[in-house]
Chains A and B, each alone.
Chain A
Amino acid sequence: MSINRRQFLRGLGGTLMLPLLPSALPRSAWASDPEAAKRFLAFYVPNGIQSIGWTPDREGADFDLKPILTPLAALQNRCRVISGLRNDPARPDGPGDHAAGTGSFLTAAHCYKTEGAGIRNGISLDQLIANQLGSDYRFKSMALASEGGGNAGGCDSGYSCAYSRNISWIDESTPAPRETRPRLLFNRLFGSAAVQLSAEARARKALQRRSMLDYLLTDAQALQRRLGVDDQAKLDQYLTAVRELERQMDFSQNQVCAPGSAPGEPVDLTAQVRQMLDLLVLAFQCDLTPVATYMLGNAGSNRPMPHLGIAEGHHTLSHHQNDQGMINQLIHIATWELEQVAYLLNRLAAIPDGQGNLLDNTLVFFSSEVEDGNRHRHHNLPVLLAGGEGIGLNQGTHDRVAETTPIANLFVAIARQMGLETESFGDSNGIVSL
């Protein structure tokens, strides 16, 4: 008896249990609009994936699952493995494959080599889609990651950390800031301190906030006119931010989804990753955003994986020099990564959405910044698509495309699948048929 009460009292503000409330059905489940909302998610893992443990031997519908893909066995008919795609713009100027490959991961643009001045990439696929789909949502898109800063100094061989930490690029020089801490993300999505205000006080505060944003915009515009051209462009970022907050005010704090208290801070990496993925699923489920990116680690991440019994850093291992022991450890890490993908897909598949479930209406793109960490190649990339059948995808095959096919051709196909009228993207020269 008393034990129960203790547990209850300690549970408040303790570790998060994210309940799936029946009242939290996504928009397409209750809106009169029969067409399900489309969602896009890009999932990034660092250091490449060992082809020997990944690439199926057989093509077509009865493709075989190599060890790394076995966590997806139960979802095999909902996934598509694509072999042979290349990202030529990702090739760095000299060394720096991890940073350049990561910057180009969703942009298929060439990252300008700099540690500071003149960062230049391209807009990323997720942002292209968010610009089209995101305006109906409180957040146009979200960028999540499970590895924060670290890496003081330059990040990779003369490339700025902006490249090695960001796959989502709002425009050619602005990465979308990532949320790496589940607790902060939770507070952003669902509000933090539960301040109880009367309806009247809430309305007054909202009006005050609108006036404040309005003033900040007007004042910044006046200020901008006195600046030089470059500085004006810098201040444009500020103006955009104010306008975006004004836009967000049209979507009041989500009343439908109320998932309880904020998550705790577990030590275990698997638990950290799953907290992020849980929140990502919630953000889709609660119609807070239609587009998200997730980075399991930063470019060339050198985290050890003690929870897998692997003491050596991931990046160090990836330069395996064909050492079988190191390759086995890499396959072990990649298999764990795919277990997290499977966890995500299963969560999405468990949530009703429209006529089907969330996974039906979510197109998931999974890949890494290089083919194989040992060789740093940017062709024959490990690519996996999952879900999205509700928005017209056919899954369940292993496809091999010509080795000259730019991954940008796949990005064009994805954009069109998401309802955009994209003709070309990055270095595309056609379209991968989906």
Chain B
Amino acid sequence: MVFRHPIISVLMLSALVSCTSDGPVGAPDVGTSPGTPAPPLADAGSSSTPDVGSQDTCLDPGFVPLRRVSRRAFGQVLHDLLGADPQTAKNLPEDDIGHGFDHLGEVLSFTPVHLEQAEAITEIAVADALRVAPPAERAIYPAEELTASVGGPHRSGGWNLWSRGELELFFSAPAGGTYEISVYGYGQQAGPDPARMTLWVDNAEVHTFDVTAEGAPAAHVHRVAVEPGERRIAVEFINDFYNPEAPDPSQRDRNLIIDRIEINGPFELELDNPIREGLIDCDTSLGASCVMPALRRFAERAWRQQIGETDWARYSELINQTVAAGAAWEEALHVGLKTIVLSPRLLYLLEPSVGPEPARLNGYELATRLAFFLWDAPPDPALLEAARLGQLDQSEGFETQVDRMLASPKAQQLLESFFAQWLHLSNLETVQPDYHYFPTFDEPLRRAMRQETDLVLSWLFNGDQSLSDLFSSAPTYVNDRLKAHYGLEAQGQALEGHDGWFEVDGQAAGRGGLLTHGSILTLTSFPTRTSPVKRGKWVLERLLCDAPPPPPPGVEDNLDDPELGGTFRERLAQHRADPACAACHQSMDPIGLGMDGYDGVGARRAEAIDTTGALPDGRSFDGLAELQEIIADDPRLSECFVEQMVIYALARAPRTLDRCHKEAILDEFRASGQGVKTLFKTITSSRLFIESRARQEGER
């Protein structure tokens, strides 16, 4: 598979000559015609500050096409509004990707399937949110499947406890409350007493039953208060009797046969539902006076705006109809919440204030843009309150909110929504390294690789570290699995808040910087081997926004094939003889070769391998550490990062008029020492972000 990012490359474009016969194909929407390189965003080589590019000279923010809430963000909506698990949104159809991101207004569509699935998910989320108690459920445990300290399966079913001993199970109580435990069993009676059994919950004896039934199981029922969480439930046979001398053979051996244990509950709950309390704080049987204000509060939060009276009257009419048609107010509340969630006022990021002339968005619109940018989630009550009070209309109040949001744990969502997409980390979930070639690769290793990168990206973001440091001085985090995979010896410093993870000194062992991560090295490999071309292309495309155009049909992909003979370097040299290929591969292959000291799952190769190389501009390196230094210093790195984050922030394709804004953002980014967290803030203060206008006739 070949990729090309349509962002027109800048500084190094002249070094790249198209591989195709008909020239590099730029996406027309970036406003450059094929073969006409765009002027550089900024002259990064010069130390003087360009006088163009200050915010004030960039007047036009352009337009933003109407944007639907993405699948991932809808999960956050259900979580924030109704306490649902965000993963439930995965039942929606997958969102299509444009310009590397899965939330672009131009790309996302809405179809009957979307509404159908959104309704099904919302129905469950609302029911859970309003639930007064978890529903009583009956769990059935056949005795044969339980852990037994003694006995064996009985010939007619069940488990025969033939001497003193117990059957044990672990039950996960969804809430604290009363549970009804029924033990179905009977005795093979012998001796003076009936069989007796004791019921245990955790390590407490709860009740002892006389089991008088014979031949067929009878229920022995006991109600007991149980704490939430995993509980040990056990039944112990306590009065074994064995007298082989008894004259009546049927009186010689007392056994207890257990058929099954059933647990039913909870009843009489101890816990209230805090989600429900947040939604409604009165008794719904009071009717409209209780339910309607609750619905209005919810709608204002969910729709992220103040609601006009006509709109509210229309909505109220639905609720009144529902009640008139025989629904209890509790049921009307359910219908009302569900309807609010499924409304286009929630599902689309509406910006009704936008007119033909560029102007600052209103407070609610800004709150919405901010929340979906920085949290991939809807605004919280504090942000909406700031909008209502007009605080977002002035830069001081606006900045206060941005600072608060960036410091909030909710900003960690950026790892998944922005950073993982930036680096294509989700591809790690779908790669399938071949067992024959990489027998040590398994799911725990896959997860560890991803977590390593997530932890380092957290370090980058949370500490407002310099982007360049990601490739030089970034810490190395490993767990035991990864440590073994990387062949690291040193004992590290335990990482706070992440059980089993350590910070180690990896530099000496060749583990420092993003490009040494198992995740990146694996997701840029083929199932059976490394691909220097793929790796080189990934670096150029993801990090430098400078991927060469894809090769023309018929000449692809063979360069990596070891069956062609010789080392990769030798094949590359042959390849260079073909001028149609040389220009592009000269930029990609040296990078990939510099990374080839690591195999297809990111382990260091045992054998020494030549990892020297030189980029088309002459900068040379030996090995990945030096290569990363070059990348860290490359002006394309910061420029590309800004480029991608602007696409992400606006959720739209890049346009020519963005360039002026991006230059200004880039200048500030560089002036701030490339602090990554600061960049988020810088973007929120750009006109691109805080202003908008309608699309002009004929504008694309």
Contacts and interface: CB of A to CB of B under 8 A. Distances in A.
A2 B158 contact: yes
Interface string A406-418: 0000000000000
Interface in B296-342: 310-311, 314-315, 317-318, 321-322, 325-327, 331, 335, 338-339, 342
Interface stretch (B277-285, B550-558, B671-679): B550-558
Given A116-B104, A117-B700, A215-B314, A375 B554 contact: yes
Given A116-B106, A311-B436, A315-B1, A230 B66 contact: yes
B313 to A, nearest CB: 11
Contacts of A73: none
A244 interface: yes
A96 to B, nearest CB: 7
Nearest to A231: B66
Contact of B110 (A192, A237, A300, A375): A237
A403 interface: no
Interface stretch (A61-69, A206-214, A354-362): A206-214
A375 B553 contact: yes
A226 to B, nearest CB: 6
A148 B325 contact: no
Interface string B540-552: 0110000001111
B128 interface: no
B27 A204 contact: no
Interface SS, B side:
loop
Given A6-B145, A97-B553, A161-B96, A235 B527 contact: no
B425 interface: yes
B4 interface: yes
Given A212-B338, A304-B527, A245 B112 contact: yes
Contacts of A220: 343-344
A212 B338 CA distance: 9
B25 A94 contact: yes
Interface stretch (A149-157, A280-288, A340-348, A384-392): A149-157
Contact of A9 (B140, B345, B527, B561): B140
B311 A9 contact: no
Interface in A140-191: 148-158, 160-162, 165-166, 170, 173-180, 184, 187-188
B98 interface: yes
A154 to B, nearest CB: 5
A222 B314 contact: yes
B526 A245 contact: no
A240 B344 CA distance: 12
Contacts of A176: 111, 113
Nearest to B558: A321
B318 A311 contact: no
B337 to A, nearest CB: 11
Contacts of B314: 215, 218-219, 222
A223 interface: yes
A316 B558 CA distance: 9
B116 interface: yes
Interface string A299-321: 01011101000011101100101
Interface in B108-133: 109-117, 119-120
A240 B112 contact: yes
B321 to A, nearest CB: 5
B29 A151 contact: no
B96 A228 contact: no
Given A215-B315, A241-B110, A313-B526, A154 B156 contact: no
A323 B68 CA distance: 47
Nearest to A309: B436
Contacts of B27: 113-117, 158
Contact of A116 (B99, B115, B144, B342): B99
Contact of B98 (A5, A94, A115, A302): A115
Contacts of B542: 153
Interface residues of A, number: 91
A240 B113 CA distance: 11
Interface string B339-383: 100111101101010100000000000000000000000000000
Contacts of A366: none
A312 B350 CA distance: 46
B97 interface: yes
A376 B157 contact: no
B424 A157 contact: no
B20 interface: yes
Contacts of A177: 93-94, 109, 111, 113-114
Contacts of A241: 110-112, 114-116
Nearest to B332: A208
A157 B116 contact: no
A118 B653 CA distance: 10
Contact of A96 (B116, B310, B342, B550): B550
A248 B116 CA distance: 10
Contact of B558 (A119, A157, A158, A319): A319
A150 B549 CA distance: 22
B287 interface: no
Contact of B345 (A114, A161, A223, A234): A223
9 contacts: A116-B653, A150-B427, A150-B429, A204-B327, A208-B322, A212-B318, A215-B317, A235-B348, A245-B116
Interface of A: 1-2, 5-6, 9, 93-98, 113-119, 148-158, 160-162, 165-166, 170, 173-180, 184, 187-188, 192, 204, 207-208, 211-212, 215-216, 218-220, 222-223, 226-228, 230-231, 234-235, 237-238, 240-242, 244-245, 248, 300, 302-304, 306, 311-313, 315-316, 319, 321, 323, 325, 374-376
